[in-house]
């Protein structure tokens, strides 16, 4: 049965904005029209005043299952993704135990099939136990559906291991996703040297800790003719490494997170890290890699705008509140991001003129789907009906107490944002709907849950 979403704003095939109408049938987009709407009897949802985008795709999330389900589960993480407008996510393998063996990877995908609201894909580790020494069975893991390989959360120190990893990944036609970190340089570090808490005795984390292995890896990727994806880029120096790799002919892509595009090292509170209040306030600003100074953030914004950085990924990293409030050297790295990613970037970059709306949608949907060969990423007849309706006009503050994620660890609490998703569809089914904006009749017609 064909059902129409009518009167939403869309990008036309030539990149212009227009009111349009989208027909869903059998989980697929059956038709896209501009001009007069379909007959009222055929309209299942009137999207007047809302934008209709291809649903977002996040290639970097941590759902903590197995082993740390007090932080997040695949079910709760997928609900957070749906609320944030994401139809597809890619899980990282640094669970407990890590997804480094076929039986573990298979079990994680089966759990996702049972409990997830969105399309969930997985990466597998590069090395056994993520120790940076012995390569996993990439061929077996690729056959099970691994979309790539990463030891995310840890760098790999040994160049011989990385060379072998690139060569094997090319043989199985999968990308290497790299958390670029030289642990000998970052050891014990928390914030970049420009952050105010460094003056209070917190150990610094130099920018070279990210860039040094990245320069090595682009050389190895070029030599192996392998696909290479750089995770959570945070410095201008790393952008130079990416440019070098491309000049050498390496197939290199890169992601950046919302927090690295919006916050700077100078934004970190200048508070005493040894007091309970100081720990509580600093915990949400501890992330890996650390927040960079303003000059680096400006470079990242320009790189996203001009395409040097291909895509946005959240690095959604939920933690329990008491864990983030530990002494800063023992507080875990990371923040949540799925439920706030698009509003944050629309408000901070699009509304201020740093980025076009079309480029933001491309970076959050089109490019990640294409780079990782995932469903979605486009609105066209024959494409999966993975779409999101977004309200760009109504402001709302970030309220972590309402998050669907188990994690509430965000430095953006209370920030007023525009661009909140109203409804998310996967294969034509409503998987999230704002109850104040989407009538029950529409939920019924789109199989909402």
**Secondary element (H or E) of residue 44:** strand 43-46
The CA-based angle 299-54-110, given to 5 degrees, is 100
Residue 354 in marked binding region: no
CB 90 within 8 A of CB 428: no
Count of Cβ atoms closer than 10 Å to residue 39 Cβ: 9
Task: Give 418's DSSP letter.
Answer: -
What is the spatial distance between Cα 145 and Cα 224, in angstroms, rounded to a whole number? 22
74-83 vs 102-115: helix crossing angle, rounded to 10? 50
Residue 63 in marked binding region: yes
Residue 409 in marked binding region: no
What is the spatial distance between Cα 309 and Cα 364, in angstroms, rounded to a whole number? 12
Residue 60 in marked binding region: yes
What is the spatial distance between Cα 63 and Cα 402, in angstroms, rounded to a whole number? 18
Task: Give 291's DSSP letter.
Answer: P
Residue 316 in marked binding region: no
Residue 152 in marked binding region: yes
Closest CA to 90 of 424, 368, 292, 348: 368
Q: Using H for helix, E for strand and C for coil, what is the string for 46-104?
A: ECCCCEEEECEEEEEECCCCCCCCCCCCHHHHHHHHHHCCEEEEEECCCCCCCCCCHHH
DSSP 247-287: HTT-EEEEEE-HHHHH--GGGS----TTSHHHHHHHGGG--
Residue 53 in marked binding region: no
CB 228 within 8 A of CB 254: no
In this structure, what token pair is assigned to residue 279? 């720990």
CB 242 within 8 A of CB 264: no
Closest CA to 446 of 427, 435, 434, 430: 430
Residue 291 sits at φ, ψ, to 5 deg, of -60, 140
Task: Give 203's DSSP letter.
Answer: P
Residue 62 in marked binding region: yes
Residue 64 in marked binding region: yes
Residue 7 in marked binding region: no
Q: Which residues are catalytic?
A: 315
Binding-site residue positions:
60, 62-64, 94, 152, 179, 232, 288, 315, 319, 333-334
Binding-site residue positions for substrate:
62-64, 94, 288, 319, 333-334
Binding-site residue positions for Zn(2+):
60, 62, 152, 179, 232, 315
């Amino acid at each position: 049965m064909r059902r129409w979403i009518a009167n939403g704003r869309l990008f036309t095939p030539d990149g212009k904005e227009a009111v349009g109408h989208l027909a869903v049938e059998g989980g697929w987009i059956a038709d896209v029209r501009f001009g007069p709407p379909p007959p009222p009897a055929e309209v299942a949802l009137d999207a007047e005043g809302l934008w209709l985008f291809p649903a977002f795709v996040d290639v970097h999330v941590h759902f903590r299952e197995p082993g740390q389900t007090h932080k997040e589960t695949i079910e709760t993480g997928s609900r957070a993704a749906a609320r944030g407008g994401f139809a597809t996510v890619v899980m990282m393998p640094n669970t407990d135990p890590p997804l480094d063996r076929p039986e573990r990877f298979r079990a994680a995908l089966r759990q996702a099939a049972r409990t997830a609201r969105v399309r969930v894909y997985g990466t597998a580790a590069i090395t056994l136990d993520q120790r940076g020494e012995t390569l996993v069975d990439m061929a077996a893991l690729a056959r099970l559906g691994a979309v790539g390989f990463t030891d995310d959360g840890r760098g790999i120190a040994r160049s011989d291991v990385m060379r072998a990893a690139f060569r094997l990944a090319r043989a199985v036609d999968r990308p290497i996703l790299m958390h670029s970190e030289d642990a000998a340089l970052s050891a014990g570090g928390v914030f970049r040297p420009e952050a105010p808490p460094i003056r209070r005795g917190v150990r610094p984390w130099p920018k070279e800790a990210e860039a040094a292995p990245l320069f090595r890896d682009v050389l190895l990727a070029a030599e192996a003719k392998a696909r290479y994806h750089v995770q959570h880029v945070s410095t201008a120096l790393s952008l130079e490494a990416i440019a070098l790799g491309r000049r050498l002919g390496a197939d290199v892509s890169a992601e950046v997170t919302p927090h690295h595009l919006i916050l700077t090292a100078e934004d970190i509170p200048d508070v005493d890290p040894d007091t309970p209040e100081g720990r509580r306030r600093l915990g949400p600003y501890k992330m890996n890699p650390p927040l960079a100074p303003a000059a680096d953030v400006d470079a990242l914004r320009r790189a996203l705008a001009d395409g040097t950085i291909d895509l946005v990924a959240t690095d959604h990293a939920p933690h329990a509140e008491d864990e983030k409030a530990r002494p800063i050297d023992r507080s875990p790295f990371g923040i949540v991001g799925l439920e706030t990613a698009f509003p944050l970037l629309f408000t901070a970059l699009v509304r201020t003129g740093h980025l076009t709306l079309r480029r933001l949608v491309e970076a959050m949907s089109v490019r990640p789907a294409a780079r990782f060969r995932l469903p979605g990423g486009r609105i066209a007849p024959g494409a999966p009906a993975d779409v999101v309706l977004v309200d760009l006009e109504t402001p709302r503050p970030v309220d972590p107490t309402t998050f669907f994620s188990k994690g509430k660890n965000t430095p953006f609490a209370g920030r007023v944002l525009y661009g909140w998703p109203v409804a998310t569809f996967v294969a034509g089914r409503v998987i999230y709907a704002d109850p104040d904006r989407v009538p029950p009749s529409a939920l019924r017609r789109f199989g909402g849950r």
